[in-house]
Amino acid sequence: MFGLTALKRAATPTTTGLITASAVFTATQRAVVGSLLQRARLSSAKDSTAVGTSLPTLEIDAFKRSKAFKRPTSPHLFIYQPQLTWGLSLFHRVTGGFLGVGAIWYLVAPFTSAAAAAYVASLPFIVKFVAKSALALPLAYHSFNGLRHLFWDTASKFGLSLSGVYSTGYSVLAATVVVGFGYMVTKVSLSSEEKALLPLVHNFLVKIGVSEAAKILKKNFPLVTVQFV
């Protein structure tokens, strides 16, 4: 309506009875702007009714609004194509966390290595196979992939090309399978002297862990007195 009114006003004869070109151009501009404003109002009203009552911008729930319009969630892992590069990076972090937590738990666990070895020896083969795989595969993968990253972190340029990243990645997976499954099916027999050393090794590792923990606590909390028995 605003655009038509502007055109009618521009079309009204002037005192000289002539319509100037500038008046027509100005009227056309007003008509276009009025039409755009009208469309913007209609679009805004439609959007607000789709999610509920009209609210100020700062009070609109963005997640609820996106859900109402069925917009995809971002970031969304399933929209990305699975690739070897980010898969290896992800599992390197997962295995590192798993091995770190397992090592800390072993240091503070209330049993000796000899008792743990005797208990594992009494388990059925399938249970030992699954338990050893849960330890062997993450340890082998994290070790080989860690060496791969050490090559990159040093001055060496080996394996930093796109083809090199993929070739070394597949090499890590192959080495993990060979070494991991080799450890899983290998039976280690210890002599009586070696078995007698297990408690000593366990106690030594525990003392190292405790002393390092005491150093960390003393460094970060100097006012706290730490004493381990």
Tokens of 152: 């990159």
Residues 64 and 148 placed together within one structural domain of the fold: no
Please compute Rg for the chain using Cα positions.
Answer: 36
Of 11, 34, 68, which residue sits at a domain end? Answer: 68
- pLDDT at position 186 is 72
The CATH code of the domain that includes 168 is 1.20.1300.10
Which ranges in 69-224 belong to alpha helices (H)?
84-108, 113-121, 125-153, 162-185, 192-220
Residue 77 belongs to a domain: no
- Separation of first and last alpha carbons in the chain: 90
Residues 118 and 179 placed together within one structural domain of the fold: yes
Residues 167 and 94 placed together within one structural domain of the fold: yes
Residue 11 belongs to a domain: yes
Residues 46 and 132 placed together within one structural domain of the fold: no
Please give the single-letter amino acid code of residue 139: L
Residues 89 and 172 placed together within one structural domain of the fold: yes
Residues 222 and 141 placed together within one structural domain of the fold: no
- Strands, E, within 1-88: which ranges? none
Q: Domain of 137?
A: 82-188
Residues 105 and 169 placed together within one structural domain of the fold: yes
- pLDDT at position 34 is 65
Residues 25 and 117 placed together within one structural domain of the fold: no
Residues 159 and 104 placed together within one structural domain of the fold: yes
Of 10, 40, 68, which residue sits at a domain end? Answer: 68
Residue 23 belongs to a domain: yes
Residues 118 and 172 placed together within one structural domain of the fold: yes
Instruction: Please state the pTM of the whole predicted model.
Output: 0.52
Residues 121 and 23 placed together within one structural domain of the fold: no
Closest by Cα among 59, 3, 57 to 31: 3
Of 33, 68, 103, which residue sits at a domain end? Answer: 68
Give me the number of domains the chain comprises. 3
Residues 34 and 91 placed together within one structural domain of the fold: no
Closest by Cα among 101, 106, 99, 98 to 203: 106
Mean pLDDT by 10 residues, the chain (229 residues): 49 48 60 64 52 58 78 69 87 92 84 78 83 88 91 72 86 90 71 65 62 59 47
Find the helix packing angle between 84-108 and 192-220, rounded to 10°: 100
**Cβ atoms within 10 Å of 176's Cβ, excluding its own:** 22
- pLDDT at position 182 is 82
